[in-house]
Amino acid sequence: MASLPLPLLFLLLGISFSPVISTNSEGNALHALRRRLSDPTNVLQSWDPTLVNPCTWFHVTCDSDSHVIRLDLGNSNISGTLGPELGELRHLQYLELYRNGIMGEIPTELGNLKNLVSMDLYENKFEGKIPKSFAKLESLRFLQMNNNKLTGSIPRELASLSKLKIFDVSNNELCGTIPVDGPFSTFSMESYENNRLSGPELQGLVPYDFGC
């Protein structure tokens, strides 16, 4: 019996030698972030989208299953905006973006990061409202958004975050009253200073967004 030519044999067996150059969904999400950011000092130079996953990229930390659990871009001289793609980092525990020039609204999709323990967005140029979706971040312990340009009221839904230990929204343009339930009963007034807030909420007497 005559043997088949090797190329035909590989075709029949469904064998392909095309290189796999696409990243996983987490790598795609981070590469989308890179495209949104200006990076004059090449902090993100190692973010190569042709790699199978982003675990070898600088400023990215993965667990033993190659899931992204930390993004450390604090004080990195980057600017631009955040997009909904960050919500794909479902295993992320630490999101460190402090002391940069990031602007625009905070994506509501960050509320999908249910493993998040710490989110540091302070000293940027974020605008718009604090997303109510943050109430889904049941593991969150540290939330610092001070020194931005945030407006609107503090979402009352955040009072359900029983593990929240640090909360700082000082030096923004927030209005309304300060929540008093849940973890908010433990935060000092320094966490709210230099806003347009009306003081602690008087439940049943005035709306929580009084003064907005």
DSSP string, 144-212: E--SSEEEEPPPGGGGG-TT--EEE--SSEEEEEE--SGGGGSS-GGGT-SSEEEEE--TTTS-TTTT-
pLDDT digits (tens, 9 = 90+) for 142-164: 999 999 999 999 999 999 999 99
Give me the phi and psi of 153, to 5 degrees please: -100, 165
Q: pLDDT confidence of 208, banded at 50, 70, 90? A: low
Domain 25-200 fold is: 3.80.10
Rounded CA separation 78/73 (Å) = 8
212 pLDDT band, cuts 50/70/90, is: confident
- pLDDT band at residue 9 under the 50/70/90 scheme: very low
Residue 50's contacts (CB-CB under 8 Å, 6 or more residues apart) are: 21, 22, 23
pLDDT of residue 16: 40
Q: Please tell me the predicted confidence (pLDDT) of residue 5.
A: 56
